[in-house]
Structure 1
Amino acid sequence: MEFENRDEYIIKKYQQDEDTMIRLFVHWCLNHNLDPVALYTRAYPHQPTNEALLNVVEETKTDPAEIEVGTATMLEVLQIFGNDDLAFVVAEEAEKSKD
């Protein structure tokens, strides 16, 4: 029984961390006047719509808390979660905004 609780804890913790990553990504996009859904779709064109991403986007419309997310932080977080394609798109957009 203890093992099941540990597994449940690990799964729940990962889901919470993933939610945090999505929230950071959405705020990074908003800070740079970019559409998070469009960037995600550009990075993963063959994946179905990410419901968690859509939910966070909707939440930020009703509660637009201003959170400043640096590009370096965003890239690190995306890479930790294995979102290398999305990290590449974020890096491209960050480079464009430097011009």
Structure 2
Amino acid sequence: MNKKDLEEHIINQYKQDEHMMVLVFAQWCVNHDLDPAGLYKRAYPGQKENNVLNQAIELTVPKEEAGHISDETLLNVLSLYGNDDLAFVVSEEMRKHTKKPD
């Protein structure tokens, strides 16, 4: 594999992995009765429509059919791809759901 082919392969692999990260985020939201597009908009209010997120939302399944995605897994995946603002918003939602009534 020449250098150009290798670079192209690495870029394509990164994009595939990034799409998987977005799908994990979207499915986690569905599993917790949250709107993925709404959370994303809170994290990145200045961004236009995110086609990758829209595609991922279409691929989600009802929470009854989905596998469990732990909070820690989601935060690790978001961190891996540098989505710190989104991780912050997700963390806020996690705290809301784990608060116990006084």
TM-score by length of 2: 0.89
Match of 2:22?
A: 22
Matches within 5 A, 1:12-91: 12-60=12-60, 64=62, 65-91=65-91
Structure 1 moving runs of 4+ over 3 Å: none
Question: Which consecutive residues of structure 1, in runs of 5 or more, have no partner in the other structure?
Answer: none
Which structure 2 segments of 5+ residues have no match? none
Per the alignment, residue 2 of structure 2 pairs with: 2
The root-mean-square deviation of aligned C-alpha atoms, in Å, is 1.3
| Cα offset, 1:52, TM superposition | 0.5
Give secondary structure in 1 for the equivalent of 2:56: helix
- Give me the whole-angstrom Cα distance separating, in 2, the residues matched to 1:18 and 1:11: 10
Q: State the Cα distance separating 1:53 from its structure 2 match.
A: 0.4
Structure 1 length-normalised TM: 0.92
Q: Secondary structure at the match of 2:45?
A: coil
Q: How many residues align?
A: 97
Q: Percent identity?
A: 46
Larger radius of gyration: 2
Larger % of helix: which? 1
